[in-house]
Amino acid sequence: MVNNPTDFGWEFKSFPLEVIATRKIELKHHKMVKGNMLDKWPSHPVIHEINTWVWLHELSRRYQTPITLANVPDAEWDAITSWSPDAVWLMGVWQRSARGREIAINHESLLASCREALPDFTLDDMVGSPYCVRGYRVDEHLGGPEGLARAREQLAQRGARLILDLVPNHVAPDHPWVQEHPDYFIQGTPEDFISSPPAFLQVGDRLLAHGRDPYFPPWPDVIQVNAFAPGLRQALIDTLLSMASQCDGVRCDMAMLLINQIFRQTWGERAGAMPAREFWEEVIPAVKAKYPEFLLIAEAYWDREGELQQQGFDYCYDKRLYDRLRHEGADAVRQHLLADLSYQARLVRFIENHDEPRAAAAFPDRQARAAAVTIATLPGARLFHQGQFEGRRIRLPVFLNRRPAEPVDADLQNFYHILLAAVAQPVFKAGAWHLGERSGWPDNRSYLNLAAWGWLLGEERRLIIVNLSEHRSQALVPLPWEDLTGRTWRLTDAFYGEMYARDGRELRQPGLFVDLEGWQFHFFRVA
């Protein structure tokens, strides 16, 4: 039987007063320094992504008064930090572009996606893209800079840091740089406009390229920066320095597009001479010199994660693991986890975010839970998306200011209650991780469906074993710690409450015998 989620002392929808009091006592252990800044980031932080505009819209309707970041009720800050995330990513706070919105409302395929997600959609629901940024000032509709400062303070008081967006590859057509510094952008010619009019925009007496990545058509609502332009690099440094005074980290949209080689392949001679230094190798150290604890996360694809880590990013998206969890098997996942730990510890693990389909829709139910346990207990940062815990299935276009009503999957919510309470423990934030072995028998190779790993911090130990297949599987799993022999150990499952006593010598060799149904898992505390 699954444990009662209230045993862990927190709930999503209601927040008992005695829990609030306990939470406030716990927060005294989080010492604030330098104003809103907290102590150093944990090695393996947990991040909660929230669609800011949608969240505030729902709060405004619930409280029947306009709610911005400046006046979010304390109970709501308590609620979004009650499960102890290390950071909240308030997605989409910057000024959105009126020009970009005009372009969007005339884009038929975009409107179709909005109507699909929101059956009662009207044009009033379209507020423009948070990645079509007119200016890096908090939108007044969301509370302006003063509202952001209060939000950061409220999060810090609850032990959570604030992450915002940086969109380095492009800006809105009405961004001030477009008029004041057209040399910051990729230029076109009259011939370009004749041969490919959707790829360029007339701005004054210049043709400027729309933003794009090399594998898709241009994005019609944004203008492409020139990553090789020295002035642009310094302008982005100045922008990041301003942002670093307002938040604790940024998620950099499509960061790999600004790698010199990729940018050259995308834009060719239009970009001009390739600089001697990489874009991020120039930008990141300039920011870190003043704000050494400022966290930079790269949205990264095409297996460029290691390269971006070397160029200075603290963490990079682990899209490869997401694809393997969704489409491949346990052996592919385990091969992924054989990578050097220093590389893995700087990856962001997830099974959904605003760019991916909802996990509840993309994964069958039991597979989704196995995948969630996996990403929540691996080294690196762990990213959870607003609505993931309730089992939302509709992926919302980021242009919208509200989301449709969906039923809450109470059983899934209970599952996440237990999982998030378990991974909030220090052993998962600062412990040592070890990939485990597993073995089987000549006539039973189902052990290949299993993956196992352990965490150690002082005397705290955790053992995770996941069946990443739909088939019942058995294995012997040697525990990864050398000091087990000579003692009896108690293995208690955080989800099912079952307890097993085992001899330490047996746990080391031949190992713990496990028999798991398809997509089932063990989440053991070992004491």
Quick: pLDDT tens for 474-501. 999 999 999 999 999 999 999 988 999 9
Query: pLDDT digits over 202-249, tens only?
Result: 888 889 999 999 998 999 999 999 999 989 999 999 999 999 999 999
| Residue 141 neighbours by CB under 8 Å, 6+ apart | 53, 68
Burial of residue 302 (number of CB atoms within 10 Å: 0-12, 13-18, 19+): middle
Average pLDDT over residues 290-308: 97
Q: How far apart are CA 181 and CA 346, in angstroms?
A: 35
DSSP state of 41: P
How much of the chain exceeds pLDDT 90, in percent?
A: 88
Cα dist. 266→211, 217, 260, 270 in Å? 11, 12, 10, 10
Residue written as tokens 């690196």?
380
The whole-number pLDDT of residue 194 equals: 85
Stretch (H or E) spanning 162: strand 161-166
Query: pLDDT digits over 262-275, tens only?
Result: 999 999 999 999 99
The whole-number pLDDT of residue 37 equals: 54
∠ CA 139-383-414, rounded to 5°: 110
∠ CA 164-169-175, rounded to 5°: 80
The whole-number pLDDT of residue 390 equals: 97
Pick the more confident residue, 196 or 2. 196
Query: In whole numbers, what is the pLDDT of the chain averaged over residues?
Result: 92
**Is the pLDDT reported for residue 16 higher than 50?**
no
Q: How far apart are CA 512 and CA 464, in angstroms?
A: 12
**C-alpha torsion angle, residues 479, 483, 485, 489 (rounded to 10):** -60
CATH no. of 432-526? 2.60.40.1180
Q: Confidence class of residue 45 from pLDDT cuts 50, 70 and 90? A: very high
Domain ranges of the chain: 5-430, 432-526
**Is the pLDDT reported for residue 70 higher than 60?**
yes
CB 52 within 8 A of CB 92: yes
CB 520 within 8 A of CB 467: yes
Angle between helices 74-81 and 144-157 (to 10 degrees): 60
Q: Which CATH superfamily is domain 5-430 in?
A: Glycosidases (3.20.20.80)
Average pLDDT over residues 173-180: 96
CB 235 within 8 A of CB 229: no
**Is the pLDDT reported for residue 69 higher than 70?**
yes
Beta pairing class for 381-385 and 432-435: unpaired
Residue written as tokens 């004749």?
194
CB 451 within 8 A of CB 65: no
Q: Quick one: tokens of 189?
A: 């010619």
Q: Which amino acid would we find at residue 299?
A: E
The β-bridge partners of 250 are: 164, 296
Beta-carbon count within 10 A of 216 CB: 7
